[in-house]
Structure 1
Amino acid sequence: MNRVLYSGNRNASSWAFRAWLALKEQNIAFKEIIIDIRRPQRWKNLAEIGEFSPPAAVPVLNDDGFIIFDSNAIMEYASELGANSLLPLDIKARAKARSLVAWQHSTFGRICPCLYFESAFYPDKKSLSADEIQAIEKVYSIWEDSISQFSGEYLVGDYSLADIMFVPSVIRLTSHFQPDERWPNVQHWVNILLERPFIKEWLDDAYQLEPIYLPGYRNDL
Structure 2
Amino acid sequence: MKLVIGDKNYSSWSMRPWVLMKHFGIPFEEVAVQLGEPDTLASILKHSPSGKVPCLIMDNGASVWESVAILETLAEQFPDVPMWPRDAAARAHARSVSAEMHAGFAELRTNMWMNIHASFPGKGATPGALADVARVDALWSACLDQYGGPFLFGEFGIADAMYAPVVMRFNTWQPRLSEAAAAYARRLTNAPAVQAWIADAMHETHTIDYYETPA
Q: Deviations over 1:111-146 (max 9, x none)?
A: 35121113x422455634362445423321221122
Question: Which residue in 2 is equivalent to 1:184?
Answer: 179
Question: Which residue in 1 is equivalent to 2:20?
Answer: 22
1:71 is the counterpart of 2:73: no
**Secondary structure of the structure 2 residue equivalent to 1:117:** coil
**Normalised by the size of structure 1, how large is the TM-score?**
0.84
Instruction: Call closer, same or farther: CA 1:38–1:112 in 2, change over 3 Å.
Output: closer
Quote how far apart the aligned CAs of 1:169 are: 1.0
1:35 is the counterpart of 2:33: yes
Which runs of 4 or more aligned residues in structure 1 lie more than 6 Å from their structure 2 counterparts after TM superposition? Answer: none
Instruction: Call closer, same or farther: CA 1:100–1:43 in 2, change over 3 Å.
Output: same
Question: Which residue in 2 is equivalent to 1:202?
Answer: 197
Contact 1:22/1:79 (8 A) holds in 2: no
Quote how far apart the aligned CAs of 1:11 are: 0.9
Larger deviation: 18-27 or 91-100?
18-27
**Secondary structure of the structure 1 residue equivalent to 2:25:** coil
Q: Which amino acid aligns with 2:34?
A: D
Question: Which residue in 2 is equivalent to 1:81?
Answer: 77
**Secondary structure of the structure 2 residue equivalent to 1:75:** helix
Larger deviation: 121-130 or 152-161?
121-130
Residue segments in structure 1 that go unaligned for 5+ positions in a row: none
Quote how far apart the aligned CAs of 1:188 are: 2.4
Question: Which residue in 1 is equivalent to 2:147?
Answer: 150
Question: Which residue in 2 is equivalent to 1:48?
Answer: 46
1:138 is the counterpart of 2:109: no
Aligned pairs (5 A) from 1:80-159: 80-82=76-78, 83-111=80-108, 113-118=110-115, 120-125=116-121, 127-129=123-125, 131=127, 132-159=129-156
Question: Which residue in 2 is equivalent to 1:13?
Answer: 11
Contact 1:152/1:158 (8 A) holds in 2: yes
Alignment partners' CA distance in 2, 1:43 and 1:59: 13
Contact 2:114/2:169 (8 A) holds in 1: yes
Alignment partners' CA distance in 2, 1:39 and 1:109: 24
Instruction: Call closer, same or farther: CA 1:184–1:11 in 2, change over 3 Å.
Output: same
Alignment partners' CA distance in 2, 1:47 and 1:124: 33
Instruction: Call closer, same or farther: CA 1:58–1:134 in 2, change over 3 Å.
Output: closer
Residue segments in structure 2 that go unaligned for 5+ positions in a row: none
**Secondary structure of the structure 1 residue equivalent to 2:110:** coil
Contact 2:101/2:162 (8 A) holds in 1: yes
Among the aligned pairs, what percent are the same residue?
A: 26
**Normalised by the size of structure 2, how large is the TM-score?**
0.86
Alignment partners' CA distance in 1, 2:162 and 2:71: 9
Quote how far apart the aligned CAs of 1:18 are: 0.7
Contact 1:115/1:217 (8 A) holds in 2: no
